[in-house]
Structure 1
Amino acid sequence: MQLLHKGKVRDVYSDRPGEVILVASDRVSVYDVVLPTPIPGKGKVLTSLSLWWFDQLADIVPNHVISAEDVPDEWRGRAIRCRQVDIVPVECVARGYLAGSGWTSYQESSSVSGVDLPAGLVEGSRLPEPIFTPTTKTPPELGHDEPMTYAEVAELVGSPLAAELRDTTLRLYRRAAGLMEERGVLLVDTKVEFGRTPDGTVILADEVITPDSSRFWQASQWAPGRRQVSYDKQVVRDWAQDLGTWDKTPPGPAVPDEIVERTRAVYIEMYERITGEAWSADGR
């Protein structure tokens, strides 16, 4: 078993040609810094929810999943055997509401990633239609992901692939957002990653529509014009932001027990609300 890459949350191993094993840890990162305190069971929730979404979205775009069972016993429940692909060097983000960096950008320019938006929107506003707001895919040791315009994506990867990335990302967002709204959850925004197979086919990779890669709000609590109550990793981001004593550079601060437990509870609640399945500590 060869370790190919150790990410902020996931580790990638190889034991067969053309395949990798993606292992989700309990690590949590904010502002590209891995915090010293894990969230127990987080890796299993992310893996199980991603597998559920891969099934739900497979008719829109193929994905990299081979098996969640053909993995070493020590990682069972938080690992997926996947096809090895060349990852497209763009973080593909879809937004349906103004939040986070999107809200910051709108305040500065009335636009997000070069997409002009109507005047008069407030924090938490629902956008007239979902928008594609990609970013660079920058290794943490080299800096932070930076917003890209669609034209910059086309220049980087070519117009045909840029159009496919944009259109597929928005189709995935619309499908997931519609399904979640039926369950009383708003999909605020989400980040997806794509890879290319040797024949050039674009497939969905990494994780998909999880509390790590997305913002979730309870529909019943949505109130534009203020910071929303988040049901995702924003719980930890808000805690870190409100500290006022951390400059967002390593080493990160230890996460207090109450934030750990709240984050864990939120992840499990979102798994159950979205899938309609009771959470099992054994994972899927």
Structure 2
Amino acid sequence: MSGFVEKPDPVQVPGLLHLHTGKVRDLYRNEAGDLVMVASDRVSAFDWVLPTEIPDKGRILTQLSIWWFEQLADLVPNHVIGTDVPAGAPADWEGRTMVCRSLRMIPVECVARGYLTGSGLAEYHKTRTVCGLALPEGLTDGSELPGPIFTPATKAAVGDHDENVSYEEVAREVGAETATQLRQLTLAVYQRARDIALDRGIILADTKFEFGYGANDGEDGIGIAAETDVGLVLGDEVLTPDSSRFWPADQWKPGQAQPSFDKQFVRDWLAGREAGWDRTGETPPPPLPEKIVDQTRAKYVEAYRLLTGLEWS
């Protein structure tokens, strides 16, 4: 069993239809048919959404996604229309809201890896492959791969695990042409982001993207002419500490778990003796202590500062 410790009641806003409450984001549709994505301060670990929030997390994820969409705009169009808070919405939505075009989402998590860790490392230990791709002998936790690889996964519902799949399975699911486009675009975006991050002292070990199809119905911030079919569009969040592994480049040392700019403090505490929690059982996880909340928030803030060059306020 896993999921929310206690699923929150959605905020009701005049003119918005609540569609879905995810691990972090709440999704609405406005009267124009656009999607309104609101990033909460919720945090998940081990397939549980925890009872304790991380202050400012939702705003940092939103602002970092918007910054990355701007860095990638010449490579791929994105779904963002604007960031205005809908009339009648809570003041707390400021800075954590994106109004987005509705896309026909492709049911594939498009994962790019430049370094070996996580589920990729676990598979490598068993088969010397990741998603069916053969890798050299002698790699260890944190090893840089000979080149970035596309390692897709199926999208899972809240409480379920995403499952790594082969490229051939993706091609059977979405068609060979779309699979080729997904792989090419995923690797191109990863390599652009990897180079930007490394210039700022951060290793982008791996990340995941979501793409969808959509037609643009007017001139907007991505510079696509009116009534144009824009093909594959980058959606959801992008290149945040929730969807990526960011490591400090000056502390990278293969052969061990790497320091990271994400919620690793949360995972480590929950897995440790102090929490007293059995993550293999059905009992929900306990609240986080203040020191873990503060350390986790500081990691998100530091990632934002290093990547964007801006101080978080």
> TM-score band, normalised by the shorter chain?
over 0.9
State yes or no: 1:51 paired with 2:78: no
2:45 paired residue among 13, 23, 30? 30
State yes or no: 1:254 paired with 2:287: yes
Residue pairs, 1:17-166, within 5 angstroms: 17-71=32-86, 72=89, 74=91, 75-141=93-159, 143-166=160-183
**Equivalence for 2:26:** 11
Give the structure-2-normalised TM-score: 0.86
Amino acid in the other structure paired with 2:300: Y
How many Å separate the matches in 2 of 1:200 and 1:220?
40
State yes or no: 1:237 paired with 2:267: yes
8 Å CA contact 1:98–1:124 kept in 2: the answer is yes
**Equivalence for 2:251:** 221
Amino acid in the other structure paired with 1:175: R
How many Å separate the matches in 2 of 1:241 and 1:128?
32
Amino acid in the other structure paired with 1:246: D
Look up the SS of the partner of 1:201 in the other structure.
strand
For structure 1, list consecutive stretches of 5 or more residues without a partner in the other structure: none
Deviates more, 1:236-245 or 1:47-56: 236-245
State yes or no: 1:210 paired with 2:240: yes
State yes or no: 1:186 paired with 2:219: no
For structure 2, list consecutive stretches of 5 or more residues without a partner in the other structure: 1-15, 216-228
1:73 deviation in Å?
5.6
Look up the SS of the partner of 2:268 in the other structure.
helix
- 1:174-213 deviation line (CA, Å, top 9, x unaligned): 0000011011100011011111115571100000000000
1:238 deviation in Å?
2.8
1:250 deviation in Å?
5.8
Amino acid in the other structure paired with 2:197: M
1:32 deviation in Å?
2.2
How many Å separate the matches in 1 of 2:48 and 2:285?
6
Q: Name whichever structure is richer in helix by fraction.
A: 1
1:18 deviation in Å?
2.9
Give the structure-1-normalised TM-score: 0.94
Look up the SS of the partner of 2:279 in the other structure.
coil
1:169 deviation in Å?
0.7
1:234 deviation in Å?
2.6
Look up the SS of the partner of 2:188 in the other structure.
helix
Look up the SS of the partner of 2:29 in the other structure.
strand
**Equivalence for 2:4:** none
Look up the SS of the partner of 1:197 in the other structure.
strand
- 1:31-86 deviation line (CA, Å, top 9, x unaligned): 22101100001000000000000000011110000001253462110000000112
Deviates more, 1:38-47 or 1:252-261: 252-261
> Stretches of 4+ moved more than 6 A in 1?
none
How many Å separate the matches in 2 of 1:106 and 1:154?
22
1:117 deviation in Å?
0.5
Look up the SS of the partner of 1:253 in the other structure.
coil
Distance 1:18 1:100, change over 3 A: same
Look up the SS of the partner of 1:140 in the other structure.
coil
C-alpha RMSD over aligned residues = 1.5
Look up the SS of the partner of 2:301 in the other structure.
helix
8 Å CA contact 1:13–1:22 kept in 2: the answer is yes
Deviates more, 1:239-248 or 1:48-57: 239-248
Distance 1:55 1:73, change over 3 A: farther
8 Å CA contact 1:134–1:150 kept in 2: the answer is yes
How many Å separate the matches in 1 of 2:65 and 2:283?
29
8 Å CA contact 1:215–1:234 kept in 2: the answer is no
How many Å separate the matches in 2 of 1:115 and 1:240?
33
Larger radius of gyration: 2
How many Å separate the matches in 1 of 2:183 and 2:283?
33
8 Å CA contact 2:79–2:101 kept in 1: the answer is yes
